[in-house]
Chain A
Amino acid sequence: MEYFLQQLVNGVTLGAVYGLIAIGYSMVYGIIGMINFAHGDIFMIGAFHALIVFLILGAVGISWLPLALLIVLIVGILLTSLYGWSVERIAYRPLRSSPRLAPLISAIGASIFLQNYVQLAQGARPKPLSQMVSGGITLMESDAGFAARVSYIQIVIVLLTLALMAVFTWLIKGTALGRAQRACEQDRKMAALLGVDVDRTISLTFVIGASLAAVAGLMFTLYYGVIDFFIGFVAGIKAFTAAVLGGIGSLPGAMLGGLLIGLIEAFWSGYFSVEYKDVASFGVLVLVLIFRPTGLLGRPEIEKV
């Protein structure tokens, strides 16, 4: 029971990180119908921003954790969304009217560029961050001495994710920006005819996706304490799997998919083998694609006539 509980806690934490990245994939897919293959690397850039800002704050002596976290969050979001904006500007916008394959290739190019850029700028070796948040709460302890614990950092991650998702849901449902995004999703040309600046709306979509990825990067850095230039690839693919599992284009789907992938990974690692945890999550992707191609919460594609 304790063991199960522990895996549950780990899975939910992991799922929160995946969910935040998955939203970025899903939103971009919703509005331009394409996968942003550079999104995983935006997440990696976000993790590096978090690390760098933490180190700078440590150097200048700001050590009160809530303040440091807030500064890292704000600076990280601002810098990372700049990267998200640039990816759209450079890899997508010039190819807006090209065949769909062209922006796909340019996005992969952007992904490779970002990886190499970080590798050159920061070096290829993994970068450690000393543990910022330690301690936790023991939930349950068995007679054999195994304790199910939830660490403070896990609590921070889950709470931050919940708060962000609430803000984000409100943004999409209740603001002019969210309405414009949904309108562009349905009929870009018509939205333009009603005065919606479609290019700017698409840019903002990338920016929002990137800022959520920045938060995910921050969480990853805090949780694992080690990052390198390649983390964006695997995390990106996992989050993409989550987005497809939940139904690509659907935002609640992305959150749900992230949670499920996180849980699958945690339980598989806990009960079977850690080495094969990726097989488990991608196996689920294969099953979903075979039996429910639209994902769990996705709408079936209706051909427009």
Chain B
Amino acid sequence: MTPLLTVEHLTMRFGGLVAVDDVSFTAEQSQITSIIGPNGAGKTTMFNCLTGFYQPTTGQLTLAGERGDFLLERLDGHRIVRDAGVARTFQNIRLFTGMSVLENLMVAQHTEQMRASGWSMKGLLGLPSYRRAEEEAVHLARSWLDRINLTDKADWPAGALAYGDQRRLEIARAMCTKPVLLCLDEPAAGLNHTESHELNDLLRWIKEIHGIGILLIEHDMSVVMGISDKIVVLDYGKKIAEGTPAEIRDDPRVIKAYLGEPEEEDLPDIVAADLDLDPGAR
């Protein structure tokens, strides 16, 4: 079976800086594939290549979903989500803050609705098919609001929601585009323990019920280790490891990338003294 997403030799250069360097991996349907790595490892750059923000310098990104095969680097803007079915969220939340919570979920269903409502012209003429399309969109939006416990806040402006609610709303909004691949950029950032636990449940539920592939960038290891089926580790733009959570946890290259080389003997005296004085901090 062909994987849902195949990334082959992806390289992204900004002038002299190589942000992503010859990375290849695959992501499967009904699996959560996490991408981890220290800050500046090129994780978000890779997402930007996948979702059409950047044109990769070299490499091929193939998506083989139920809607057919697509070369993501050849699609631009709205085509990525409309045709190929790749949705994403952002590290810094990008909701339409001035619009209501419900409307945020309705905008995500724009493509289908425009088609069903004849560019809103059928609504202008008062045809029943317009109202049906509108009702279906509201129905889907409501079911997601139920799932993320925001039903009572449906008419709030999205900007007025609490931080954790905004995070979940952004995921629900991405899901309302009915994607085959969901890319989440640090969904647990800024969440407290309970909230990130709820997030784990939500992502697992999406994976199982909707059967779509999830690509996850995350720093919170309790999330990553808890729900990933596969982990890809990046460091300075290069892929240094790939495997199950258990394999990654014990991989010496990963430990090195995160914690540095164990070379305490070479530390300057003053630092070594500090480390000795405060063993509790380590």
- B110: Cβ under 8 A from any A Cβ: yes
Q: Closest residue of chain A to B98, judged by CB?
A: A186
Cβ of A176 < 8 Å from any Cβ of B?
yes
Q: How many A-B residue pairs have CB under 8 A?
A: 87
B87: interface (CB < 8 Å): yes
A-B contact pairs, 12 of them (CB 8 A): A176-B117, A179-B99, A179-B106, A182-B99, A186-B96, A187-B96, A192-B78, A194-B173, A195-B108, A196-B111, A197-B78, A198-B78
Cβ-neighbour of A190 out of B80, B94, B117, B134 (below 8 A): B94
- Evaluate contact between B77 and A179: CB separation under 8 angstroms: no
**CB-contacts of A117-174 with B (<8 A):** 167, 171, 174
* Dominant secondary structure at the A interface: helix
> Which residues on A sit within 8 Å (CB–CB) of B78?
191-198
Q: Contact at A180–B81, with CB atoms within 8 Å?
A: no
Beyond A176-B106, A179-B99, A195-B110, whether A171 also contacts B120 by CB under 8 A is yes
Q: How many Å from the CB of B102 to the closest CB on chain A?
A: 10
Residues of B contacting A191 with CB < 8 Å? Answer: 78, 96, 107
A273 within 8 A of B: no
Nearest residue, chain A, Cβ from B76: A192
Q: Does A175 contact B (CB under 8 A)?
A: yes
- Determine whether the beta carbon of B94 is less than 8 Å from that of A179: no
Q: Which 7 A-B pairs have the closest CB atoms?
A: A176-B113, A192-B77, A177-B120, A175-B120, A195-B111, A195-B82, A195-B81
**Cα of A187 to Cα of B92 in the assembled complex, Å:** 13
Q: How large is the interface on B (under 10, 10 to 19, 20 to 34, 35 or more residues)?
A: 35 or more
Contacting residues, chain B, for A178 (C-beta < 8 A): 120
Q: Does B164 sit at the interface, judged by CB under 8 A? A: no
CB nearest to B174 among chain A residues:
A194
**Cα distance A233–B114 in the bound complex, in angstroms:** 36
For residue B110, which residues in chain A have a CB less than 8 angstroms away from its CB? 176, 179-180, 183, 194-196
Contact with A along B248-267 (1 / 0, CB 8 A): 00000000000000000000
Nearest CB in chain A to that of B170: its residue = A190
A residues in contact with B196, CB < 8 Å: none
- A175-B123, A195-B82 are known contacts. Are A182 and B177 too (CB-CB below 8 A)? no
Question: Given A186-B97, A187-B94, A190-B96 in contact, is the A180-B80 Cβ separation under 8 Å?
Answer: no
Q: How far is the CA of A283 from the CA of B178 in the complex (A)?
A: 53
Closest chain B residue to A188 by CB distance? B77
Question: Chain B, 111-128, contact with A by CB distance < 8 Å: what is the 0/1 string?
Answer: 101100101100110000
Whether B82 pairs with A193 at a CB distance below 8 angstroms is no
| B137 contacts across to A, CB distance below 8 A | 176
List CB contacts (< 8 Å) of A267-303 with chain B: none
* Given A176-B114, A187-B94, also A193-B88 (CB < 8 A): yes
Within the complex, what minimum Cβ distance (angstroms) separates B112 from chain A? 8
> Chain B CB within 10 Å — which of A174, A178, A194, A196 has the most?
A194
Q: Is the CB of B107 within 8 A of A183?
A: yes
- Other A-B contacts than A177-B114, A177-B120, A196-B111, 9 sampled, CB-CB below 8 A, are A171-B124, A176-B113, A176-B133, A180-B114, A182-B103, A186-B98, A193-B88, A195-B81, A197-B111
Most buried by B among A174, A176, A195: A195
Asked whether any CB of chain A lies closer than 8 Å to the CB of B31, the reply is: no
Taking the closest CB of chain B, its distance from the CB of A295, in whole angstroms, is 17
